[in-house]
Amino acid sequence: MTRYILSLTAEKDDSMKYIILAAVIVLVAYLAYLGIKQTKTNKTKLIAKLKAQYGNPSERQYEPTELDNIAFYYNNHKEGKPVVDDITWNDLEMDRMFALMNTTQSSAGEEYLYYKLRTPSEKLEEVEEFNSVVHIMDENEDQRIHMQERFHAIGHTLKLSLSNYISSFQELEEGSKAIDYLCNILLIASIIGFIIVPKIGLLFILGVITFNIIKYYSEKAVYESYFTCVGYLVRLASNASELAKLEGMDPKIRTYLDELEKHAKPLEKVVSKAKLIGTGNGSGGNIAEAILDYVRLITHIDLIQFKSVLSLVKGHAEDIEALLSGIGYLESAIAVASYRRSLPFYAEPEFVSGPELVIRMQDGYHPLLAEPVANNIDVDRSVLLTGSNASGKSTFIKTVALCAILSQTIATAPAHAFTTRFYRTYTSMALKDNLKNNESYYMVEIKSLKRIMDANEGEVPVLCFVDEVLRGTNTIERVAASSQILYNMAKSNILCFAATHDIELTYLLEDTFENYHFKETVTDNDVTFDYILNKGRATTRNAIRLLKILGYDEKIIESAEKTAEDYMATGEWHRR
């Protein structure tokens, strides 16, 4: 009877084992099915998002430090290159231009796009090559989407600057693995001790785990930011390899993808060794990763692997750099293709050579304005703009400056046609007192203008835009000094667009500058502007009439008008 009962019990146990095994298999299969289904759903949503986003300006909002981090690639690679300097960048609100254009899916893409906008090319073949890649991206939606899927898989490093951390890898000390190996030896010894003497061994295990965790956090604090970057490098290299596997790609794009594969291959060891590092590669949030986090805490396996990976990363700096720039270049081209679609119209610039300093713009408009007014200009010498406040002078010169810079960076001008030559473009517009250095507005102004004159070296001429020349000083000295500065610019191979309220300059400089103006219409109760550029100097004086519109006392207005009339008649000021 006892044997029979034992036999039944054994059979029941065997049956239960099979049931449990079957349940586990079903559970694993179900989880695998859910994983595959979620992957397909995510892919479908991503493709729909990419298609909807294409041709629309980016709506992404930036935290204050984000743009500083994005600029690190530019800061690390600008040496020896022509650049859009900080004053010009800020005058033209180029951060806003970048933000509208930045539909990239990865940190490599957005850092390279920022770099490209700040480093105007001075070679026709470079502009034409980038333009041809932009065309391919625009004309081949399937190819573009497949590439963007891989760029999305690479992703962003959030608040970290990828370029900055990668460059600092070279200075980072590898550190000794001895303490990490000691932690594992103690862990193994404590487990053995637990098997031999459970009660004492349990205390030993708890003590070792506590020690290992404390040492883990103290060490990881030094390397944690780099863990994120290693994770990014893994995604960068592995997705570069996946990009190279894409079929049916345009031959020109295939050349770029093959180059990526060439530089991804030497990083296969990095990808392999980095698998156990907590790299923040998007795999978090599941049970397996959570369990692995505890394993890392106790065994330091990620610290050991990181220290091994560090030496490999240092040895492949050129390959990593090539991947960053190669992927960034391709993704920038997609962002520019999308940006072009978002514009009401644009022109691919025509570049001319020869001694003449030319700018020919047809229907140029400011791309940051909701309802811009288009203007034309065709000049081969410097331009002086006059007109009242708010008439359109500043917006016009910013429009020409943007057309020039965007032509040499992304081969795109917000105009129906834009003809230019290669320039080094500078502005002096939205200046402020420098309280930190105890500098007056006038001091800041003359330093800004001096930097433009000093830049006039080499074969590439300077194109400059100046708003209200020397507004920080008195009328007599302003007219005297600004006339000489502008005259010397025009005579020194600098093409200058200058806006001013000083009509005297239009006469003093008429031999070297062409005069253009904007005008307004003043009625009894209102003032209106058409923002259309007109040839010649401004001939109307409406500042005093505007006082009347705003309700100033009639006595003030009458006295002001008579004072102005006296000055025009005698050349002397008399207060009434």
pLDDT of 287 > 70? The answer is no
pLDDT surpasses 90 at 281 = no
Name which residue leads in pLDDT, 412 or 61: 412
The pLDDT, as a whole number, for residue 282 is 42
Region 72-84: what's the mean pLDDT?
Answer: 92
Confidence check: pLDDT of 7 > 70: no
Nearest-angstrom CA–CA distance, 576 and 562: 8
Most confident of 193-202, 291-300, 531-540: 531-540
**Listed residue (500, 294, 305) closest to 388, CA to CA:** 500
pLDDT tens digits, 381-408:
999 999 888 889 999 999 999 999 999 9
Tokens of 431: 């200046």
Amino acid at 3: R
pLDDT for res 431: 66
554: pLDDT strictly greater than 70: yes
Q: What's the pLDDT at 388? A: 85
Averaged pLDDT for residues 358-367: 98
Residues 6 or more apart in contact with residue 574 via CB below 8 angstroms:
563, 566, 567
CA distances from 474 to 350, 470, 561 (A): 42, 9, 21
Please state, in angstroms and rounded to a whole number, the distance separating the CA atoms of residues 207 and 203.
6
* Helix or strand run (H / E) with residue 377: strand 375-379
Which of 117-126, 168-177, 280-289, 443-452 has the highest average model confidence (pLDDT)? 117-126
Rg of the chain (C-alpha set): 33
Cβ 399 vs Cβ 365: under 8 Å: yes
Cα(336)–Cα(132) distance, rounded to whole angstroms? 12
Q: Which residue has the higher pLDDT, 446 or 35?
A: 446
Does residue 223 contact residue 303 with C-beta atoms inside 8 Å? yes
Nearest to 399 by CA among 383, 389, 388: 383
The better pLDDT of the pair 492, 309 is held by 492
pLDDT, residue 116, reads 98
Amino acid 285: pLDDT: 46
170 has pLDDT over 50: yes
Owner of token pair 């074969």 = 459
Q: What are phi and psi of 420, to 5 degrees?
A: -155, 180
Instruction: Answer yes or no: are the C-beta atoms of 539 and 568 closer than 8 Å.
Output: no
* 71-75, 192-196, 406-410, 477-481: least confident range: 192-196
pLDDT tens digits, 24-75 = 677 777 766 766 766 677 778 989 999 999 999 998 888 878 888 899 899 9
Q: How confident is the model at residue 272 (pLDDT cuts 50, 70, 90)?
A: confident
User: Could you read off the pLDDT of 125-156 as tens digits, one per residue?
Assistant: 999 999 999 999 999 999 999 999 999 999 88
Please give the order of strands across the beta sheet that includes 424-428.
Answer: 424-428, 462-467, 494-499, 382-386, 513-517, 534-535
pLDDT confidence of residue 279: 47
CB 530 within 8 A of CB 542: no
Averaged pLDDT of the chain: 85
Most confident among 338-342, 439-443, 446-450, 458-462 (mean pLDDT): 338-342
Residue 397: what pLDDT? 97
Output phi, psi for 170, to 5 deg: -65, -30
CA dist., res. 562 & res. 567, Å (int): 9
Give the pLDDT confidence score for residue 94 in this predicted structure: 97
